[in-house]
Amino acid sequence: MADKKLTRDSIAAAALDLLNEQGLDQLSLRKLAARLDVKAPSLYWHVADKNALLALLAESVFVDCLARIPPGEHWHDWLRAFGRGLWRAQKDMRDAGRLILMTAQDEAVLVRMEHAVLAPLTALGLSAPQALSMQASVQAFVTGWTSFAQGPNTAYLQAHISIDTAFAQGLDALLRGFDHTIDPEN
């Protein structure tokens, strides 16, 4: 029987703490079980292996980001809030870019994420293909900047520019560029 104090949320939160303390390469189910004060087999009721743990962690960060987006009157507002929220979450998470780029999600999770993105953006007037394309572009932009900002040349980059300012300016430019791609007939 699964340990009653374990939930997917508590596992994801403890995994995020471990990731931030020790890094992606040191994150393990054994260490996570010790952190949660349970035996490793108890975790297997919730996560089958390390990839499942990493997928849960990535999903948790994404879902939390979506939950924090305030209602807006325009799709620009939603995408800007999404981009900035994802930037904060990834920037504050050690090895975020690597986690995102190396973790495969189950199709059911991807479908849930897709619906979570489509609902607000289509309600704000975008078609489903426009919404998905724009959200994916923002997400790729954020993950690229995260990888860049957490990479081996971070100190040099920080000495020459404000990474946060450059990110925000780039996000705004990307959003303005979307205006030129929208076909009013679709």
> What's the start-to-end Cα distance of the chain, in Å?
52
pLDDT of residue 148: 86
Which letter, b or e, does each residue of 32-63 get, where b requires 16 or more Cβ atoms within 10 Å of its Cβ?
bbeebebeeebbeebbeeeebbbbbbbbbbbb
pLDDT digits 0-9 by tens, 77-103: 999 999 999 999 999 899 988 898 889
Please state the pTM of the whole predicted model.
0.87
Q: Please answer whether residues 115 and 171 qualify as being in contact, where contact means their C-beta atoms are separated by less than 8 angstroms.
A: no
pLDDT of residue 3: 45
Domain assignment present for residue 49? The answer is: no
Amino acid at 125: G
Q: Please answer whether residues 11 and 56 qualify as being in contact, where contact means their C-beta atoms are separated by less than 8 angstroms.
A: yes
Residue numbers of the domain that contains 105: 71-178
pLDDT digits 0-9 by tens, 5-59: 789 899 999 999 999 999 999 999 999 999 999 988 888 889 999 999 999 999 9
Output DSSP code: residue 26.
G
Amino acid at 58: A
Domain assignment present for residue 14? The answer is: no
Q: Total structural domains in the chain?
A: 1
pLDDT of residue 62: 92
pLDDT of residue 4: 54
Query: For residue 125, what is the enclosing H or E element?
Result: none
Domain assignment present for residue 152? The answer is: yes
pLDDT of residue 183: 60
Residue 6 in tokens: 């374990």
* CATH code of residue 109: 1.10.357.10
pLDDT digits 0-9 by tens, 129-178: 999 999 999 999 999 999 888 889 999 999 999 999 999 999 999 999 99
Domain assignment present for residue 36? The answer is: no
Q: Is 131 helix (H, G, I), strand (E, B) or coil?
A: helix
User: Which residue, chain included where needed, has tokens 């009721």?
Assistant: 45
Question: Model confidence at 2, in pLDDT bands (50, 70, 90)?
Answer: very low
Domain assignment present for residue 10? The answer is: no
Domain assignment present for residue 17? The answer is: no
Domain assignment present for residue 4? The answer is: no
Residue 102 in tokens: 């190396």
Residue 76 in tokens: 């620009």
pLDDT of residue 181: 84
- CA 144 to chain CA mean position, Å: 12
Domain assignment present for residue 32? The answer is: no
Q: Tell me which of 42 and 60 has the higher pLDDT.
A: 60
